[in-house]
């Protein structure tokens, strides 16, 4: 029996699958820092943020496409709810672990903006993203806003978690 897959699984799909797998392994190897009450909202927020950003930029403004077609492919749909949240969890993990505050917070955010911009460039090289009026430099302020919003979200959820009346666990 032949199953017709609606898309061609090729190098750009493998790039995303390998990226998601590597990040998952890194996350699983790190000591547990967050209870589910913290990481679940972070995962949901970052997935929603990624999907909303891409719907506006790639859908409404049509400044880039994903993978091999103009339609949303299953691999990229999965990446929006796996890859981006994995990155967000690592970002918040090290933010908390290293107690990044003051001027170091600015440096920390800039390092992640740089890493994300590099990863986006790599995604273009692997044909995950196809620019149509977008240039890599435009992503820098977007990533800056994303990482600032993740800090606000993490701090807000952490405060809510600390105020709860339930025992930890």
Residue 63 within any structural domain of the chain: yes
Residue 100 within any structural domain of the chain: yes
Q: Which two tokens stand for residue 67?
A: 């993978």
Interval 139-150: pLDDT, tens: 999 999 999 999
Residue 39 within any structural domain of the chain: no
Question: 87, 113 in Cβ contact below 8 A?
Answer: no
Interval 29-85: pLDDT, tens: 999 999 999 999 999 999 999 989 988 998 899 999 988 777 667 788 888 899 999
How far from chain centre, in Å, is Cα 125? 18
Q: How many domains does the chain have?
A: 1
Residue 28 within any structural domain of the chain: no
Question: 41, 157 in Cβ contact below 8 A?
Answer: yes
Residue 15 within any structural domain of the chain: no
The proportion of the chain whose per-residue pLDDT surpasses 70, expressed as a percent, equals 91
The proportion of the chain whose per-residue pLDDT surpasses 90, expressed as a percent, equals 73
Per-residue confidence (pLDDT) for residue 167, from 0 to 100: 59
Residue 116 within any structural domain of the chain: yes
Average the pLDDT over 115-119 and give the result.
98
Residue 141 within any structural domain of the chain: yes
Q: Which helix (H) or strand (E) holds 129?
A: strand 129-131
Q: At what angle do helices 74-97 and 36-54 cross, to 10 degrees?
A: 130
Question: What is the domain range of residue 112?
Answer: 45-163
Residue 9 within any structural domain of the chain: no
Its pTM stands at 0.90
């Amino acid at each position: 029996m032949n199953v017709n897959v609606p898309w061609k699984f090729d190098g750009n799909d493998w790039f995303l699958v390998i990226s998601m797998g590597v990040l998952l392994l890194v996350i699983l190897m790190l000591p547990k820092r967050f209870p589910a009450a913290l990481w679940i909202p972070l995962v949901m927020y970052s997935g929603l943020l990624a999907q909303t950003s891409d719907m506006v930029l790639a859908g409404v403004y049509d400044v880039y496409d994903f993978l091999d077609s103009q339609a949303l492919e299953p691999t990229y749909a999965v990446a929006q709810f796996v890859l981006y949240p994995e990155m967000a969890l690592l970002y918040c993990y090290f933010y908390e672990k290293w107690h990044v505050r003051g001027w170091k917070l600015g440096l920390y955010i800039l390092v992640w903006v740089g890493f994300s911009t590099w990863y986006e460039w790599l995604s273009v090289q692997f044909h995950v993203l196809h620019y149509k009026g977008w240039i890599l430099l435009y992503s820098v302020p977007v990533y800056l806003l994303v990482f600032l919003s993740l800090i606000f979200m993490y701090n807000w959820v952490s405060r809510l978690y600390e105020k709860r009346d339930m025992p930890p666990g």
